[in-house]
Amino acid sequence: MANVAVIGETVRVAGFRLAGAVVLPADTHDAARAAWASLGDDVAVVILTPEAAEAVGERAGERTTVVMPP
Protein backbone atom coordinates (compact mmCIF):
# COMPACT_ATOMS: atom_id res chain seq x y z
CA MET A 1 0.00 0.00 0.00
CA ALA A 2 1.28 3.47 -0.88
CA ASN A 3 1.61 6.11 1.81
CA VAL A 4 1.27 9.87 1.95
CA ALA A 5 4.01 11.75 3.79
CA VAL A 6 3.86 15.32 5.10
CA ILE A 7 7.02 17.35 5.74
CA GLY A 8 7.14 20.76 7.36
CA GLU A 9 6.84 22.84 10.48
CA THR A 10 5.43 20.84 13.38
CA VAL A 11 2.46 23.12 13.99
CA ARG A 12 1.35 22.85 10.34
CA VAL A 13 1.78 19.10 9.83
CA ALA A 14 0.77 17.44 13.12
CA GLY A 15 -2.92 17.13 12.25
CA PHE A 16 -2.22 15.08 9.13
CA ARG A 17 -1.36 12.14 11.38
CA LEU A 18 -5.08 11.88 12.17
CA ALA A 19 -5.72 11.21 8.48
CA GLY A 20 -3.16 8.41 8.42
CA ALA A 21 -0.28 10.27 6.80
CA VAL A 22 3.33 9.69 7.71
CA VAL A 23 4.20 12.97 9.44
CA LEU A 24 7.82 14.15 9.40
CA PRO A 25 8.08 17.37 11.41
CA ALA A 26 10.86 19.61 10.13
CA ASP A 27 11.26 23.02 11.71
CA THR A 28 14.51 23.87 9.87
CA HIS A 29 15.72 23.57 6.30
CA ASP A 30 18.26 20.94 7.37
CA ALA A 31 15.52 18.91 9.05
CA ALA A 32 13.33 19.13 5.93
CA ARG A 33 16.18 17.89 3.72
CA ALA A 34 16.84 15.03 6.15
CA ALA A 35 13.15 14.12 6.23
CA TRP A 36 13.06 14.08 2.42
CA ALA A 37 16.13 11.83 2.31
CA SER A 38 14.47 9.43 4.78
CA LEU A 39 11.38 8.81 2.63
CA GLY A 40 10.84 5.17 1.82
CA ASP A 41 9.86 3.69 -1.52
CA ASP A 42 6.34 3.14 -0.17
CA VAL A 43 5.64 6.91 -0.17
CA ALA A 44 3.62 7.83 -3.26
CA VAL A 45 2.72 11.46 -2.46
CA VAL A 46 4.53 14.07 -0.37
CA ILE A 47 2.80 17.15 1.03
CA LEU A 48 5.22 19.99 1.82
CA THR A 49 4.81 23.26 3.64
CA PRO A 50 6.20 26.22 1.65
CA GLU A 51 9.30 26.32 3.90
CA ALA A 52 9.96 22.61 3.41
CA ALA A 53 9.47 22.96 -0.35
CA GLU A 54 12.05 25.73 -0.39
CA ALA A 55 14.49 23.53 1.53
CA VAL A 56 13.95 20.48 -0.68
CA GLY A 57 14.24 22.55 -3.85
CA GLU A 58 14.41 20.76 -7.17
CA ARG A 59 14.45 17.34 -5.52
CA ALA A 60 10.71 17.77 -5.03
CA GLY A 61 10.36 16.84 -8.70
CA GLU A 62 11.60 13.33 -7.91
CA ARG A 63 8.22 12.40 -6.43
CA THR A 64 4.61 13.47 -6.68
CA THR A 65 4.43 16.50 -4.41
CA VAL A 66 1.89 19.04 -3.28
CA VAL A 67 2.86 22.33 -1.63
CA MET A 68 0.48 23.79 0.96
CA PRO A 69 -0.57 27.39 0.52
CA PRO A 70 1.28 29.90 2.70
pLDDT digits (tens, 9 = 90+) for 1-39: 899 999 999 999 999 999 999 999 999 999 999 999 999
Nearest to 60 by CA among 2, 1, 3, 7: 7
Is residue 15 in a domain?
yes
Is residue 70 in a domain?
no
Number of separate domains in the chain: 1
The whole domain housing 18 covers 3-56
50: domain CATH number is 3.40.50.10580
Cβ–Cβ < 8 Å for 66, 46: yes
- End-to-end CA gap in the chain: 30
Determine how many CB atoms are found less than 10 A away from the CB of residue 4: 17
Is residue 63 in a domain?
no
Q: How confident is the model at residue 69 (pLDDT cuts 50, 70, 90)?
A: very high
Is residue 67 in a domain?
no
Give 58's Cβ-side CA count (13 Å radius): 0
Q: Which DSSP letter does residue 4 get?
A: E
